Every structure is written in C-alpha cells, then in structure tokens.
C-alpha cells in the first residue's frame, strides 16, 4: 500500500495522473535549510524526512511504502521557500522577474527495509514584470503556500516563456522520475517502469 506524505492537492492530483492508488498522510517536518547546506542536499533531506515521518505513522501497516517530496525555487543558490506574506511574495517575484531560476524537486520512497530517491532539476525563465503585474498576481492569492511565490499551473503560467526540465517537477512532483521510483519499489505503474 502506498502512502503520500503530503496534504498538497496538486501532489495528489499529479500522483493520480499516473494511475497509482494511494492514501495521504499529514506529516509535520521542519522545512528549514541548515547553515551551509547546498540547496540540492536540502530538498533531498526534507523529502527523505517527510517520507520517514510518514513511515513511522504507518509502521503497523504490512508492506507500507511512503512517498515524500519537496520542491524549492532556487536563485543564485538561495532557496526561496514559501512566502511569509503578500509582501514577501511580491519581493520574490520581483527578484525572479527577467531571470532564469532553478526548481529542485526531490522525491523519496521508503519502505521498512529500503529507500529510493531522485532529484529533478528544471530551469524556469520568468519574463520581466513591472510592479503592477506583480501586485495583480499577488492580489490573486495564488502565491500562498507556493515555493518562490508562484504556481506554474495557474495564472503565473503567463509569466513563464520557457521551461527546461520537468513541468510536473515545477508543479511539485516530477512524474517521470516518480514513476521510475515506484516501479523500483514494486508498485503497479506503467509497464515500462515496473522493472527499472
């Protein structure tokens, strides 16, 4: 049985997209970068900690497998995280505007005896934005709970002329990589991934 250690509606939607049966878990893991911790190590650690916390919650379920994920926006090696408020979201968008940034999405799949992990990296170009455009976007409220202060699957799609990498990874769960991990864990996914 697969458990998703996340209450994110978009992660659930993405996981359903590849035809996997699962239940969600509500886990609480601190998402704070350690001093000197590289962004790649940070997202891997948080994904692994979420999966581990989920596995502890379902320790009594035979054959339980737990998926944890973390997605972060990174500009010049600075992890942006989720904005604290509207002003913080506007500041993030102002810094991303006219630049290419990285989106790191780590996935960890754990069972009682094994662990699988992958990191997806995408490059996202945000068009130049003036203060009026940023204010209009922030007033939509779509930035809430979103790394970097935007949701690629929503209104912010109009700000992004180019993505190199995984679109679903920018949304929060890279499906190609996730399907490979689940296949390695022996879960029923697309036949192409069952023996990888």
**Residue 18 C-alpha from the chain's centroid:** 16
101: nearest Cα among 86, 87, 80, 118? 80
Largest CA distance in the chain: 54
Active site residues: 70
The radius of gyration computed from the CA coordinates of the chain, to the nearest angstrom, equals 17
Say if CB 53 and CB 27 are below 8 A apart: yes
Q: Return the H-helix or E-strand segment holding 94.
A: helix 86-96
4: nearest Cα among 22, 31, 19? 22
């Amino acid at each position: 049985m697969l458990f998703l250690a996340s209450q994110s509606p978009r992660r659930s939607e993405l996981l359903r997209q590849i035809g996997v049966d699962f239940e969600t878990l509500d886990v609480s893991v601190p998402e704070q970068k350690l001093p000197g911790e590289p962004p790649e190590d940070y997202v891997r650690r948080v994904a692994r900690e979420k999966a581990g916390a989920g596995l502890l919650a379902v320790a009594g379920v035979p054959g339980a497998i737990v998926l944890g994920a973390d997605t972060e926006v990174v500009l010049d090696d600075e992890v942006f995280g989720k904005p604290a408020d509207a002003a913080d979201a506007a500041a993030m968008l102002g810094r991303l505007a006219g630049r290419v940034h990285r989106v790191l999405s780590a996935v960890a799949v754990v069972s009682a005896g094994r662990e699988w992990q992958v990191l997806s990296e995408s490059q996202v170009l945000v068009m130049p934005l003036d203060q009026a455009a940023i204010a209009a976007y922030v007033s939509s409220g779509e930035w809430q709970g979103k790394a970097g202060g935007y949701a690629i699957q929503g209104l912010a799609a109009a700000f992004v002329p180019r993505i190199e990498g995984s679109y679903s990874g920018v949304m929060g769960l890279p499906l190609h990589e996730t399907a490979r991990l689940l296949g390695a864990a022996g879960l029923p996914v697309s036949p192409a991934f069952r023996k990888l």
